[in-house]
Structure 1
Amino acid sequence: MTAIRAGQLTRRIRIQQRSVVQDSFGEALAQWADLITVWAEIQPLSGRELEVAQRISSEVTHQIVVRYQPMFADTRAVAAYRAVYKGRIFDIHASLNEDERNICITLLASEGLNEG
């Protein structure tokens, strides 16, 4: 993708990062905090069904395209993020900066196996 056309990014998504907090008993709890809200294009790529914990689960992989943000430059940090769109949770696995042009970022994500 060389340029982002007007009207291409039609989904408003939240990018979240996991943080660990302690409850009143001192137990560590995982929470998700919003980092940024951006416009995106979400395209499904593939789907599969598999057995997890003796039940059938489905997983769908997606390509999420967003405008370039410096926070997406560190691929290892981005792999710890998730995207949320209308209650749907997408676990982000990688970010791709096409041709290193800093125009758009493609996030490779999956949906369905867990809740982040």
Structure 2
Amino acid sequence: MAFTAQELNTKIQLQSMTTTRGPDGEIVTAWSTYAEAFAKVEPLLGREFIAAAEAQSEIAAKVTMRWRDGVNARHRVLVDGEAFEIVSAQNIRTRNRELLLYVKRLE
């Protein structure tokens, strides 16, 4: 599943949940961007959508990007300002060159 640099034409943000204490001592959680990258974002269609839906419901798209260590299902992806939960992060061919994320839309 090699890709060309031209296919990585969508700028995405990778975010993680941060927890801090507010001025009154309460715990405040928020999403913060820890990286930006260019990726190939494709909606799942037809058989691929049906196959993915068997494993995880509501998977909306797959995001292919250059390898980045540490990306996992506790993070989320912003695509054009829209948030997606990472359902699965896969190291393609375990070569640390490409990362495939299956994501679902957050409501």
Q: Which has the higher helix share?
A: 2
AA partner of residue 89 (structure 2): S
Q: Partners of 2:102 and 2:65 in 1: how far apart?
A: 11
Structure 2 length as normaliser, TM-score?
Answer: 0.81
Alpha-carbon deviations, 1:25-75, whole Å to 9, x = none? 11111111111100011111149xxxxxxxxxxx55110001011233xxx
Determine whether 1:27 maps to 2:21.
Answer: no
Say what the alpha-carbon RMSD is for the aligned residues.
1.7
Map 1:63-74 to 2 at 5 A.
63-72=62-71
Q: Partners of 2:23 and 2:87 in 1: how far apart?
A: 33
Q: Which has the higher strand share?
A: 1
Contact 2:90 2:99 in 1 (8 A): yes
AA partner of residue 67 (structure 1): R
Unpaired segments ≥5 residues, structure 1: 48-58, 73-77
Q: Partners of 1:80 and 1:65 in 2: how far apart?
A: 18
Q: How far 1:6 moved relative to its partner?
A: 2.7
Q: Partners of 1:100 and 1:93 in 2: how far apart?
A: 18
Q: Partners of 1:94 and 1:6 in 2: how far apart?
A: 23
Structure 1 stretches of at least 4 aligned residues deviating more than 2 Å after TM superposition: none
Q: Partners of 1:35 and 1:90 in 2: how far apart?
A: 15
Determine whether 1:12 maps to 2:11.
Answer: yes
Q: Partners of 2:5 and 2:17 in 1: how far apart?
A: 32
The residue number in structure 1 matching 2:37 is 38
Structure 1 length as normaliser, TM-score?
Answer: 0.75
